[in-house]
């Protein structure tokens, strides 16, 4: 038996290129569909885990997918906006903890997420360095955001205009970085977290400027009507919040009228969640409430359907490749007819010669399967990280 193995091994070693091509081809035929399934399953796990960790989302009626993707992954277009009154309304029911989100602006490529401190507790976010934001104009960076923006505690990041054509838009706000979060391998790593009120400053709804009642502000005054001063656009707003000017930052109108993109509702128990959902069932209700898992499951259903087509295509290609490999083996036997005759003449029985040839094929297939297995193991091991990177991008 050792002689058969030796001859088969020597043949394969001598014809390295042919062996490598055959092993590589068969390995890929086995590996690709399996790896695709591993990656898709891992993607589904990642997407689902974020959705499962978010009990309910409330937002203005519109695309549920946009609302879910914007609120869970801070990606997709900004959904229809609602107002902070919705967060207050949910909190007032005492059925759920209400966590407002305002995901609309960016600091370069990174999403600025306006929220409350409850979000940090809700997502169990931990600090790698620094502390949580305490005052207007402070921000906390996710781990990836800190890398990409090249900023750390003590540094600063600047909000970006919504559009390059927004000439009359608000001034960018320079925000002070007071904390950097540990990696979570979720969308939180990409975010620039700010207080909701800071997000409204980014939008220009809350702002600070010189005292319009002061004599030096006279050129910026359009009119005085009783106790009201109407200022014109020449009034320069502060683009950075400092201890010297923070007292000048003020709100116009009620906070409940200020915009948010969604509310994460964390019901106190299952019954509370059901009652809360029931409150949004009225046909004239302008808000929608959704379970993120339902939306993500629908999305995954689509992904799995596409995956099945891809796998079916791969299997067809695989069969064709296997047929080609078989042809290679058969043609190889014809080319090696003289070699086979030589082995017979020097005393090799037909069984022994057949054994050598079968062993060569078996070793090639065996090596292919082992390598495919190794690659699959590696894929499974690193799939979470790869998928997280892909999802975050």
Partner 1 sequence: MRLASSFAFILLLIIAACGGNGPEPTAPIAEEAPDRLLVYTVSYPLAYFAERLGGAEVEVVFPAPPDEDPAFWSPDAETIAAYQNADLILLNGAGYAKWVERATLPSSRLVDTTANAADRLLELSGTVTHSHGPEGEHEHQGWAFTTWLDPTLAIEQARAVAAALRSRLPESDAGIAERLVALEDDLTALDARFAAAAESIGEEPLLFSQPVYQYFIHRYQLNGHEIHWEPDVEPDGKMLSELGHILDHDAARWMLWEGVPMDATVAALDEREISSVVFSPCANTPAQVDWLTVMNANAEALETIAAAHRSH
Interface ranges with partner 1 (CB under 8 A): 13, 87, 91, 94, 97-100, 116-118, 120-121, 124-127, 131-136, 138, 178, 182, 195, 197, 212-213, 222-223, 227-233, 235, 246-247, 249-254, 370-371, 374, 377-378, 381-382
CB of 254 to partner 1, least distance (A): 8
CB of 75 to partner 1, least distance (A): 25
CB of 16 to partner 1, least distance (A): 8
CB of 125 to partner 1, least distance (A): 6
CB of 120 to partner 1, least distance (A): 6
Helix boundaries (H) for 53-113: 64-73, 84-93
Tokens of 142: 């996710």
Q: Which helix (H) or strand (E) holds 319?
A: helix 292-335
C-alpha distances (whole Å) from 2 to each of 187, 256, 346 are 57, 84, 18
CB of 123 to partner 1, least distance (A): 10
CB-nearer residue toward partner 1: 108 or 268: 268
CB-nearer residue toward partner 1: 176 or 291: 176
Secondary structure class of 167 (helix, strand, coil): coil
**Which residues are CB-contacts of 194 (< 8 A; sequence separation ≥ 6)?**
112, 113, 114, 115, 133, 138, 139, 140, 175, 202
CB-nearer residue toward partner 1: 75 or 88: 88
Tokens of 359: 């062993």
CB of 95 to partner 1, least distance (A): 13
CB-nearer residue toward partner 1: 315 or 374: 374
Q: Which helix (H) or strand (E) holds 127?
A: strand 127-130
CB-nearer residue toward partner 1: 61 or 185: 185
CB of 198 to partner 1, least distance (A): 8
Nearest to 298 by CA among 70, 48, 74: 48
C-alpha distances (whole Å) from 245 to each of 136, 370, 371, 386 are 11, 67, 65, 45
Burial pattern 280-314, b for ≥16 Cβ within 10 A else e, equals: beeeeeebbbbbbbebbeebbeeeeeebeeebeeb
Compute and round to an integer the Cα radius of gyration of the chain. Answer: 32
Helix boundaries (H) for 136-195: 143-149
How far out from the chain centre does Cα 13 lie? 46
Distance between CA atoms of 240 and 279, rounded to whole angstroms? 41
CB-nearer residue toward partner 1: 41 or 97: 97
CB-nearer residue toward partner 1: 103 or 300: 103
CB-nearer residue toward partner 1: 91 or 340: 91
């Amino acid at each position: 038996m050792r002689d058969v193995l030796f001859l088969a091994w020597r043949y394969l070693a001598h014809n390295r290129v042919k062996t490598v091509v055959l092993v590589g081809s068969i390995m890929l035929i086995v590996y690709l569909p399996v790896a695709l399934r591993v990656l898709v399953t891992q993607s589904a796990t990642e997407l689902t885990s974020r959705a499962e960790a978010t009990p309910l989302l409330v937002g203005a009626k519109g695309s549920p997918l946009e609302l879910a993707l914007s609120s869970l992954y801070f990606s997709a277009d900004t959904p229809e906006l609602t107002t902070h009154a919705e967060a207050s309304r949910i909190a007032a029911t005492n059925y759920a903890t209400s966590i407002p989100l305002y995901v609309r602006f960016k600091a370069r490529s990174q999403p600025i997420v306006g929220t409350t401190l409850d979000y940090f507790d809700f997502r169990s976010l931990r600090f790698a360095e620094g502390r949580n934001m305490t005052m207007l104009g402070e921000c906390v960076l996710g781990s990836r955001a800190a890398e990409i923006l090249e900023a750390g505690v003590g540094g600063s990041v600047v909000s970006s205009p919504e559009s390059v054509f927004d000439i009359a838009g608000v001034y960018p706000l320079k925000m002070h970085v007071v904390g950097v979060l540990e990696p979570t391998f979720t969308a939180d790593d990409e975010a620039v977290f700010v207080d909701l009120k800071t997000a409204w400053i980014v939008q220009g709804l809350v702002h600070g400027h010189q005292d319009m009642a002061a004599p030096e502000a006279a050129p910026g005054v359009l009119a005085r009507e009783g106790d009201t001063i109407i200022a014109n656009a020449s009034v320069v707003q502060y683009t950075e919040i400092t201890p010297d000017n923070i007292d000048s930052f003020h709100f116009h109108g009620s906070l409940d009228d200020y915009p948010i993109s969604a509310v994460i509702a964390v019901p106190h128990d299952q019954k509370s969640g059901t009652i809360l959902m029931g409150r949004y069932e009225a046909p004239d209700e302008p808000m929608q409430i959704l379970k993120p898992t339902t939306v993500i499951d629908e999305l995954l259903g689509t992904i799995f359907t596409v995956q099945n087509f891809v796998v079916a295509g791969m299997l067809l290609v695989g069969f064709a490749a296997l047929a080609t490999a078989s042809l290679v083996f058969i043609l190889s036997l014809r080319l090696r007819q003289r070699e086979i005759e030589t082995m017979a003449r020097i005393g090799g029985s037909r069984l022994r010669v057949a054994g050598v040839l079968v062993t060569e094929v078996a070793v090639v297939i065996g090596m292919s399967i082992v390598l495919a297995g190794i690659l699959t193991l590696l894929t499974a091991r690193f799939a979470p990280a790869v998928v997280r990177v892909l999802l975050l991008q």
